[in-house]
Amino acid sequence: MKRRILLAAALALCACIPGLPASAQERFITVASTTSTEQSGLFGHLLPAFTKKTGIAVKVVAVGTGQALDIGRRGDADVVFVHDRAAEDKFMAEGQGVKRYDVMYNDFVVVGPKQDPAHVAKDPDVLDAFRKIAAAKAPFVSRGDRSGTHAAELRTWKDAGVDIAAVRDGWYREIGQGMGPALNMAAAIGGYVLADRGTWLSFKNRQDLAILVEGDKRLFNQYGVMLVNPKLHPSVKAQDGQAFVDWLISPEGQKTIADYKIEGQQLFFPNASTERS
């Protein structure tokens, strides 16, 4: 029952690839993934190529990484495609996934108003930048949605020695939404936000926002893919789900990822290995 309800929601979020014959639309898998892969436009580029090759349509449930993994734990998705390595390792340790593969990476960036009241622009140390934002009590937008980006943000506060639960007040705003709404909020209030570069590059409502901090190795953002374990969840479409995983890490899938660009800028960088990770 839960799976039927979730698939109905998936149809509302991301319909089957348009223009496919009915026979192809009858064969599909459900992928629980992050908002960044959808809102960056990557899936709009990637999935038609997979479907054209295999005849397998893909329905995407785009949520934060934590929620995507929970969907996998319920057996309500065939594949999870996310970006929080610690959470992914926990998922695998629980036996919920068959194998985990690296797929691609990009990076996080600190976006904020060009006036930069916290004076973080071009700071090579993201921890130092976060300390300055907290000290200035400059508006900061947190996704607050258990996503991979939210997890990275919380790790950064912790590594910077900032107890965000103790010091936050009106300047720190948790919205419980995806990357696009977080960027919209930051644009509206002149706030700072940690964003994945892919969504930022595809984001149109920039107003007075700009990338202020980038390049710190701590901002590396790895994505991984896992087939949900059909031994725990018999409803998982193991053969077709594995076909999607195999295609993502194949030379063809990796080239398709690399070919996705906005205004000449590559959003994601393939780094798949066929070895279990």
Span 176-231, pLDDT tens digits: 999 999 999 999 999 999 999 999 999 989 999 999 999 999 999 999 999 999 99
- Residue 14 is predicted with a pLDDT of 45
Q: Which residues pair with 57 in a beta bridge?
A: 28
214 and 230 together in one domain: no
pLDDT 10s digits, 16-69: 444 444 444 579 999 999 999 998 999 999 999 999 999 999 999 999 999 999
115 and 192 together in one domain: yes
Asked whether residue 141 is domain-assigned, the answer is yes
d(C-alpha 82, C-alpha 68), whole Å: 7
d(C-alpha 80, C-alpha 77), whole Å: 7
pLDDT at 1 over 60: no
Domain of 149: which CATH number? 3.40.190.10
Asked whether residue 229 is domain-assigned, the answer is yes
pLDDT 10s digits, 61-93: 999 999 999 999 999 999 999 999 999 999 999
Domain hosting 144: range is: 106-219
Q: Which of 180, 202, 219 is the last residue of a domain?
A: 219
165 and 211 together in one domain: yes
pLDDT at 277 over 90: no
36 and 47 together in one domain: yes
Given a contact cutoff of 8 angstroms between Cβ atoms, the answer to whether 77 and 247 are in contact is: no
pLDDT 10s digits, 111-145: 999 999 999 999 999 999 999 999 999 999 999 99
Q: What global pTM score does this model have?
A: 0.86
Asked whether residue 37 is domain-assigned, the answer is yes
162 and 144 together in one domain: yes
43 and 131 together in one domain: no
d(C-alpha 23, C-alpha 148), whole Å: 35
- Residue 169 is predicted with a pLDDT of 84
231 and 98 together in one domain: yes
Label residue 274 by pLDDT band (50, 70, 90). low
pLDDT at 258 over 60: yes
Rg (CA), the chain: 19
171 and 261 together in one domain: no
Number of structural domains found in the chain: 2
- Residue 275 is predicted with a pLDDT of 59
Given a contact cutoff of 8 angstroms between Cβ atoms, the answer to whether 76 and 3 are in contact is: yes
Asked whether residue 275 is domain-assigned, the answer is no
142 and 182 together in one domain: yes
229 and 257 together in one domain: yes
Asked whether residue 66 is domain-assigned, the answer is yes
Asked whether residue 94 is domain-assigned, the answer is yes
pLDDT 10s digits, 102-112: 999 999 999 99
- Residue 26 is predicted with a pLDDT of 75
Using alpha carbons, select from 187, 178, 196 the residue that is nearest to residue 142.
178
**HEC assignment per residue over the chain:** CHHHHHHHHHHHHCCCCCCCCHHHHCCEEEEEECHHHHHCCHHHHHHHHHHHHHCCEEEEEECCHHHHHHHHHCCCCCEEEECCHHHHHHHHHCCCEEEEEEEEEEEEEEEEECCCCCCCCCCCCHHHHHHHHHHHCCCEEECCCCCHHHHHHHHHHHHCCCCHHHHCCCCEEECCCCHHHHHHHHHHHCCEEEEEHHHHHHCCCCCCEEEEECCCHHHEEEEEEEEECCCCCCCCCHHHHHHHHHHHCCHHHHHHHHCCEECCEECCEECCCCCCC
Asked whether residue 277 is domain-assigned, the answer is no
- Residue 168 is predicted with a pLDDT of 80
Amino acid in position 267: L
pLDDT 10s digits, 148-182: 999 999 999 999 999 998 888 899 999 999 999 99
pLDDT at 2 over 90: no
- Residue 276 is predicted with a pLDDT of 55
Average pLDDT over residues 232-257: 98
193 and 259 together in one domain: no
Asked whether residue 111 is domain-assigned, the answer is yes
209 and 112 together in one domain: yes
Average pLDDT over residues 253-268: 96
